[in-house]
Amino acid sequence: MRLVLATRNPGKVAELQARLGPLGVDLVSAADLGAPEVVEDADTLRGNADKKARALARHTGLPALADDTGLEVDALGGAPGVYSARFAGPDADDAANRRKLIADLDGIADRAARFRTVLVFVDRDGQALAFDGVCEGVITEGEVGDGGFGYDALFRPADGDGRTFAQMSTAEKNRISHRGRALDAFVAWLAGQNDRGA
């Protein structure tokens, strides 16, 4: 099956191709097919992922896969959530978003948080299926580690060994991450479809 992925990042395509290739999937990026960028303006992670996957499926005529991820901090009522990429403002970069999160949690003891990814698959008929992945953890008081992106230097996963995501290799992070768990659920579903000859 040829499947279009809502990304312009060749590294992400290669990473997912390694997981999906053994299931007979030939993954291609939205950029490879000249698909337009989709504005992520839904008020939920699922809404954004669904919007991107449906737009890609319509544009390409192929099944499509898209995701959206957010960081949910309990003490902030679940914020930044769907607004994680623009928490500090519409033109904010990762560093500005991290600074705002640190400032907003200053003096707050409850630092429980989770990363949530929603992965949406849309088939050729426009039917959508969603796969969720969650990674529980805590927000550190300051940045720890040089790797990763986004909020990785502030997030210490509960299933880890005490390091933040930014201190882990990509492979280590993917074994326990929210995105990895959502992908695991999709891979399990796809393998089941293959077993049934669908």
We report the CATH number of the domain holding residue 48 as 3.90.950.10
Average pLDDT of adjacent 10-residue blocks, the chain of 198 residues: 87 80 90 89 96 95 95 98 95 96 97 97 96 98 93 96 94 90 94 74
Q: How far is CA 91 from CA 1, 86, 109, in A?
A: 37, 7, 29
pLDDT of residue 118: 97
> Please, are residues 134 and 176 in contact by the beta-carbon 8 Å criterion?
no
The model carries a pTM of 0.90
Per the structure, the complete domain to which residue 179 belongs is given by: 2-195
Task: Give catalytic status of residue 68 as yes or no.
Answer: yes
CB atoms within 10 A of CB 165: 28
Among residues 50, 67, 68, 152, the one annotated as catalytic is 68
pLDDT of residue 198: 55
pLDDT of residue 13: 82
Q: For 146, how many CA atoms within 13 A lie in the half-sphere containing its CB?
A: 0
pLDDT in tens, 144-173: 999 888 999 999 999 999 999 999 998 899
> Please, are residues 120 and 65 in contact by the beta-carbon 8 Å criterion?
yes
Report how many domains make up the chain.
1
Q: For residue 25, give both structure tokens.
A: 């999937």
